[in-house]
Amino acid sequence: MSATTHPADCQSFGDRCLSDEELQRLLREDCPYGDLTTTLLEIGAKPGRMTFATRHETVLCCTEEAARLLELLGCTVTALQPSGTLLPAGRKFLVVEGEAGRLHLGWKTALNLLEAASGIATRTHALVAEARAASPAIEVVATRKVFPGTKAVAIKAVYAGDGLPHRLGLSESVLVFAQHTVFLKSTQALWARLPEMKRRAKEKKIGVEVTDRDSALAAAHAAADLIQIDKMNPEELLELVPLLREAAPQAVVAAAGGINDKNAREYAQAGVDLLVTSAMYWGKPADIAVSMEALTV
Site for a second copy in 215-274 (CB under 8 A): 226, 250, 252, 254, 273-274
Residue 46 identity (one-letter amino acid): K
The CA-based diameter of the chain, rounded to the nearest angstrom, is: 77
Q: Which of 201, 231, 242, 262 binds a second copy (CB under 8 A)?
A: 201
Using DSSP, state whether 237 is helix, strand or coil: helix
Q: Are 120 and 157 in contact (CB under 8 A)?
A: yes
Q: Which of 113, 121, 157, 217 binds a second copy (CB under 8 A)?
A: 113
- The SS3 of residue 246 is helix
* Interaction between residue 296 and a second copy (CB under 8 A): no
Which residue in the set 2, 149, 249, 296 belongs to the binding site for a second copy (CB under 8 A)? 149
Output 60 or 235, the one with its CB closest to a second copy.
60
Packed helices 151-160 and 100-134: angle between N→C axes, nearest 10 degrees: 50
Which among 38-46, 52-60, 122-130, 231-239 is the span making contact with a second copy, rule CB under 8 A? 38-46
CB of 103 to a second copy, least distance (A): 8
Kindly tell me which residue out of 1, 2, 33, 186 binds a second copy, with binding defined by CB under 8 A.
Answer: 33
Q: Which is nearer to a second copy, 126 or 175 (CB)?
A: 175
CA 254 – CA 229 distance, rounded (Å): 6
**Rounded CA separation 84/62 (Å):** 9
Q: Choose which of 72, 77, 80, 247 interacts with a second copy (CB under 8 A).
A: 72
Among 14, 88, 90, 242, binds a second copy (CB under 8 A): 14
53 binds a second copy (CB under 8 A): no
- Determine the residue type at 68: R
Q: Is the dihedral of CA 90, 92, 98, 103 positive or negative?
A: negative
Q: Which of 87-95, 143-151, 229-237, 239-247 is the region at the interface with a second copy (rule: CB under 8 A)? A: 143-151
Cβ within 8 Å of residue 81, ≥6 positions away: 60, 63, 87, 93, 94
β-strands 174-176, 139-142 pairing: unpaired
Q: Which of 52, 93, 159, 267 binds a second copy (CB under 8 A)?
A: 159
In the complex with a second copy, the residue whose CB is nearer, 186 or 214, is: 186
Residue 230 CA to chain centroid, in angstroms? 20
* Distance separating alpha carbons of residues 42 and 164, to the nearest angstrom: 47
Interface with a second copy (CB under 8 A), residue from 51, 57, 91, 150: 150
Q: How far apart are CA 120 and CA 51, in angstroms?
A: 22
Number of residues that bind a second copy (CB under 8 A): 117
Instruction: Tell me how far, at minimum, the Cβ of 220 lies from a second copy, in Å.
Output: 16
83-112 residues in contact with a second copy (CB under 8 A) are: 99-102, 104-105, 107-109, 111-112
